[in-house]
Each structure stands twice: as C-alpha cells, then as structure tokens.
Amino acid sequence: MALADDHRFGASAPLTLGVEEELLLLDAELDLAARAEETIDRLSGEWREHVSTELFATQIELKTGVCTDTPAAAAELEGARAAVRQAGATLLGAGLHPTYTGQSELVDKPRYAVVKQDLAGLIDEPPCGLHVHVGMPDPETATAVANALRYHLPLLAALCANSPFRAGEDSGMASARAAVVRAYPRFEMPPEFDDYAEFLRVADQLVLAAGVDDYTYLWWDVRPHPRLGTVEMRGMDVQPTVAANVAVAALVQALAAKELERPSPGGLAREALEESYFQAGRHGLEAEILIPGGETVPARELGRRVLEEAAPHAVAGADSLVPLEQILRAGNGAEEQRRLQRERGFDGLLAELVARTAARSADPPAEEA
C-alpha cells in the first residue's frame, strides 16, 4: 500500500488535461533515424520540458503541461513539434513505420533496461501511441472513472487505428501497433477495481511479481496515475496531426466529465471487452463492438452515439469533437494509409504522412490525390 498516501489527486482542478504523442524520427530517405537524444540536446530551454525520449532512440515523446482544455493542449503540442523540426528532425505520426525492417536502437537509460531484459529478442520496432491524462479530484473517483473508460477502449482503438502496414506488408490489422505492444509485459486492459484500495493491492503485487520499481511499469491501457493525479488513457495509435490527437483528448475528457456527472452502468466481463478491443484493432471502423446490455454495434454507429452523448460534456465545446466526426465519415488512419499506398506506393505514403505530421493546424489541408 505504498501509494495510499502518496498521490496528487485533487492537486489541480478536476478534468485538467495532459496529452502525450509518441512520434517517429526519420532520416532524409524517410527511414527511422536514431536521433532522439541528439534532437533533444538541440532544443531551446523552454521546450525541453515538453520533449522526452522513449524506449527507442528512433522515437520521441511530445507532451503538454497541465492544460484546462484542448486549445491550450494543441498550442503546446504545435509549439513542441515546431521546436523539434527547428532542431533538424523529421517527424512521422503513425502507430508503426509502414516499411521499417530490422531492430531499432534503444535509448540507454536504466528505466528501459528492465524492458529490454523482459522482451529479449522480441523488441525490434518502435510502436507509437497517444496518451491522454484527465485530472481527478480524489482516488476513489479516479478508480471509478478508469473502470468506466475501459468500456470506451474498443471505440477509441477503432477511431485511432493508424498502422495497417508492417515491414512493407499489409498486416491485415487496422492497428498492427496494438498487436506489437501485446507482446510487451503488462500491456493490457486492466480488471475492474472495486475501489482504490484494490487498485493499490493489485498494483503492489504486480510490481513485486514483475521485479520493477513502481506502478508506472504497469502499462495498462487505462489506469489511475497517482503521481500525476490523473486517469490515463493509453490504448490508441498516435495520429499524424495535432488536431486529430487533441480531438481524441477532447473526447476522453468529455467522457470523464460525463462519468463525474452521471456514472455509466457496467456489466460486461473483462474478457468480452478484450475481444471487442481486439476486433477494433483488427477491423477498425468495420468492427462490431459489444456494449452493456449485450448488443453488438458497428463501430461507426457506436461512434456517432458516443459523440452525441459526449458533446454536452466537452470542456472546449462540441466543436472540439468535429475531427472525430470527420473520421467517422471519411475513414480512420488505417483506411487512409491503405488508400494512399494503393495510389502512390510506399514512397508516396511516407511522404504524405510526413507532410501531414509537419502541417500546423492553421495550414490548409493536404491536397487529395
């Protein structure tokens, strides 16, 4: 129970927001480049707190501070991307590099040594996710909201699926990243916890069993985060644009706000949720997702229902969810990647992904092929 009195829930106003986007670093040929630490060393002082290394030297994490809403988060992520580009980096926003083959170099830090030891020879390519933090007022509320947000993981995975290709081949998955990270230890949907005390008990036991330092090595797809005083959603592919990433954050924030006001009924077994989660990673917006009550609903239809339900609770207003409505109409990243690859080949796909990752929100949209 080491965390019982060591938390920051309530340290900031409820529903504050933090967004983290993992992005790939590329060289002039648009292959992966192991330049994370070199890039960070070149950053100006004000942006260093917004950029950090991740497990692989070929990826970088951009993160906001504590924000009240998504416009503030978008401004910080846009600034961080610009700073990284000014430091000479080329960025790509996708769950996996579409054509990379080989074994990517790891960052030499003690935190990552245990991951390397656990994964042995299985660790080869950097998966890039989107993480969203929402501030919680107290530990029990955080536990209840984390339990409820588990039910939205399949839909969020379907909306965000953005990695159909792996090693230059169509994986058959909408999110091959989801399949890659399932090989990692402790990357999974967590159980439902009766209360915060049970979360602590399970976390403490798992930390001991894994031989790791603390609960931050429990990479559940949604989890209470006592050190930050948040609930963290982690189960989504990163998107190329800041606008899409913060729209996902706006939805997570709105769903958490709805739970604070009007808790949802539960009733689905973890195993059933896991199966819908797999189906979303496999089929994206074509998946059928199980909802409480025993009904399976096409992901697109469920998305429309959830956006309608979430809109009144969107902290920055319903317009903050518009990019997700566009995804439901036009298709997710996996569908778009497949279209681009058919029309332009892998070189054209990579060039377009890089262009979209470099575009600022105020820029005009990329011209369609």
Q: What is the mean pLDDT of the chain?
A: 93
| Dist. CA 128–CA 59, nearest whole Å | 8
Amino acid at 53: T
**H or E stretch at 46:** helix 45-48
* Predicted local distance difference test score (pLDDT) of residue 171: 98
- Choose the weakest-confidence range: 55-59, 112-116, 118-122, 172-176: 118-122
What letter does residue 184 receive in the DSSP assignment? Answer: S
Using CA atoms, how far apart are residues 215 and 3, in angstroms rounded to an integer? 9
- Residue carrying the six token digits 């129970």: 1
Q: What is the pLDDT of residues 194-253, one digit of tens each?
A: 999 999 999 999 999 999 999 999 999 999 999 999 999 998 999 999 999 999 999 999
Longest dimension (CA), the chain: 56
Which pLDDT belongs to residue 369? 31
Helix, strand, coil share of the chain (percent; to 5): 50, 15, 35
Name the residue with higher pLDDT: 5 or 49. Answer: 49
Based on the number of CB atoms within 10 Å of its own CB, is 330 exposed (0-12), middle (13-18) or buried (19 or more)?
Answer: exposed
The pLDDT of residue 368: 38
User: What whole-number distance in Å separates Cα of residue 128 and Cα of residue 124?
Assistant: 13
pLDDT for residue 321 is more than 50: yes
At residue 121, the pLDDT reads 64
> Which residues face 132 on adjacent strands?
19, 233
Taking alpha carbons only, the member of 148, 182, 113, 92 closest to residue 264 is 148
Q: What is the pLDDT of residues 126-155, one digit of tens each?
A: 999 999 999 999 999 999 999 999 999 999
* Position with higher pLDDT, 228 vs 1: 228
Angle at 224 (CA atoms; ends 261, 118), nearest 5 degrees:
155
Answer with the residue of higher pLDDT: 56 or 111.
56
According to the model, what pLDDT value does residue 258 have?
96
DSSP code string of 142-172: HHHHHHHHGGGHHHHHHHH--B-EETTEE-S
Distance, CA of 208 to CA of 45 (rounded, Å): 38
Return the minimum-mean-pLDDT range out of 75-84, 102-111, 347-356: 102-111
Tokens representing 189?
Answer: 């949907």
- Tell me the per-residue pLDDT of 249-279, one tens digit each, with 9 for 90 and over: 999 999 999 999 999 888 899 999 999 999 9
- Please report the domains of the chain, with CATH numbers, ordered by start residue: 17-358 (3.30.590.20)
pLDDT at 119 over 90: no
The DSSP-derived string for 307-324 is HHHHGGG-TT-GGGGHHH
pLDDT tens column, 343-369: 999 999 999 999 999 998 655 444 433
Parallel/antiparallel/unpaired status of strands 230-237 and 222-225: antiparallel
Beta-carbon contacts of 135 under 8 Å, excluding residues fewer than 6 positions away, are 12, 13, 14, 15, 16, 17, 66, 229, 230
Per-residue confidence (pLDDT) for residue 36, from 0 to 100: 96
Give me the residues paired with residue 131 across strands: 20
CA distance to 24, 27, 115, 162, 362, per residue, from 32 (Å): 7, 6, 21, 17, 28
Q: Return all residues near 66 (Cβ < 8 A) that are at least 6 apart.
A: 12, 16, 17, 18, 135
For residue 291 the two structure tokens come to 């909802």
